[in-house]
Structure 1
Amino acid sequence: METILLRQEGETVDGRELKGVAMRARLRAATEELIAEVGVNAASAAAIAQKCGVSRGAMLHHYPTRDELIIDTAAHFWRRARDIVATLADDMSAGRTDVATFVDRLYEDVFRANALVTMLDLMVSGRDTRVGEAVNEILTDLFRSYEDLGVKAFDVSGVPPERIHVVITLIVSTLRGLRIQDNIHRDEARVRDVLTMLVDAVHVILDRERAAAPAATPAPRARSARRRS
């Protein structure tokens, strides 16, 4: 008999539900790892089940098709990545972190995840398929959220939001390219050099944008209620 656990006051959760949640998490992790290792075409349902250490029947119980598993894996990555970036944006806007930490954590916590290579592979090789369309939509939403959260992160810089969007595009594009290169040939020293140069470039760009921003128009002086004699 499955154990009934208290979730919150007035709510319960069945032990089977907890096992299901844990199993789906294992299957998503196995999917991320396998596609990053062998590519999406070789990541069959049977291969994913073997990677996870479960029977194919057990996998199909939670995900009736491989496409559903892959799409859920992509959606879970989007939620996880967005939460990480939202936290970084909060820390930046509150002055708890700096540009170097923002870039480093963004790369380590989001772009170095197996899921990013998995998502890019799915978007390219799965083009014009249900999976490819779903992943493309998920990544489009993710990169749009980077821009929105980037404005919050860099709002203290005094740079207009439309220019911050360009800065965020530079950061995200560089980190994405670096992750792909690192996947082809891992070179930690080069990664650190690129991240350092990227941070330096962002500082230079922010300084230039602040200098180019039009000065605020001073508020007009209030007219005296009494005329001078």
Structure 2
Amino acid sequence: MTTTTRVPQEERTRAMRARLLEATVECLVERGFSGTSTTLVSERAGVSRGAQLHHFPTKNDLVVAAVEHLTEVRGAELAAAARALPQGPRRTRAVLEMLGDHFTSPVFTAALELWVAARTDATLLAAVAPLEQRVGREVHRLTVELLGADEQQPGVRELVQATLDLVRGLGLAATITDDTRRRRRILDRWAAVLDETLHPEPKGAR
């Protein structure tokens, strides 16, 4: 006798939502905000329009939830990458590489589409701004921790923020053209600046 295992409704709903969110991010990356529609997302996810509209009544609801979902996933990936970082003289450069990977990931591209669209859409901006502020605070906190930076020291907080602005800018440039060698040279030099400022050698050490 064959027994059929029934998947609980809650689990089916969770899996369906995940498919919708992942399909939304894929559409944002491939087609941009203007080319992403709820119909296209539901077709790609293999979910009925009725079910999609039940969970996400509007396009804005769907895209904000999708980027928040992928941001949480990427946050877990960042934490895992942080645990694998080396100690010693190459740590700072490895931290910058990890951050650089974060700002060239699909979730960054998807978020970028939302930022541009939110500039002229007050409703979308109201939803996106708090999410970006929360993500920004968390990435800043993680960067301080990984660099061993003491923000009580004058200028250190600004240096950490400049680091994030730098890698974010390189990530933005990477959406237009791949200039990996230039990016590596910039990160090499910035790692040296950070080490000289955050962890200077004691006088007379040489």
| 1:18 partner SS | helix
Q: Point out where structure 2 has 5 or more consecutive residues left out of the alignment.
A: none
TM-score, structure 1 length as denominator?
0.70
Q: Which runs of 5+ in 1 are unaligned?
A: 5-13, 212-229
Larger radius of gyration: 1
Q: Which residue of 2 aligns with 1:8?
A: none
Q: How does 1:8-87 map to 2 (within 5 A)?
A: 15-86=8-79
**CA distances 1:106-126 after superposition (whole Å, capped 9, x unpaired):** 222x21221212212212322
Fraction of identical pairs, as percent: 25
Q: Judge conservation of contact 2:140–2:164 (CA < 8 Å) in 1.
A: no
- Deviant stretches of 4+, over 6 Å: none
Give how far 1:71 is off: 1.9
Cross-structure match for 1:203? 195
Q: What's 1:9 paired with?
A: none
1:41-190 matched pairs, under 5 angstroms: 41-86=34-79, 95=87, 98-108=91-101, 110-127=102-119, 128-155=121-148, 160=152, 163-190=155-182
Q: How far apart, in 2, do the equivalents of 1:158 and 1:188 lie?
A: 31
What is the RMSD computed on CA atoms of the aligned residues? 3.1
CA offset at residue 91 of structure 1?
Answer: 6.5
CA contact (8 A) 2:151 2:157 kept: no
What are the superposed Cα offsets for residues 116-153 of structure 1, whole Å, 9 maximum, x if unpaired?
Answer: 12212212322343222211111111112223233322
Q: SS at 1:147's partner residue?
A: helix
- Counterpart CA distance in 2 for 1:76 and 1:115 is 9
> Which letter maps to 2:147?
F
Structure 1 residue 2: deviation in Å?
Answer: 7.9
Match of 1:223 in 2: none
Distance 1:121 1:3, change over 3 A: same
Structure 1 distance, partners of 2:153, 2:137, is: 13
Question: 1:62, CA displacement in angstroms?
Answer: 3.3
Larger relative contact order (CA 8 Å, sep ≥ 6):
2
1:40: how far off?
Answer: 1.0
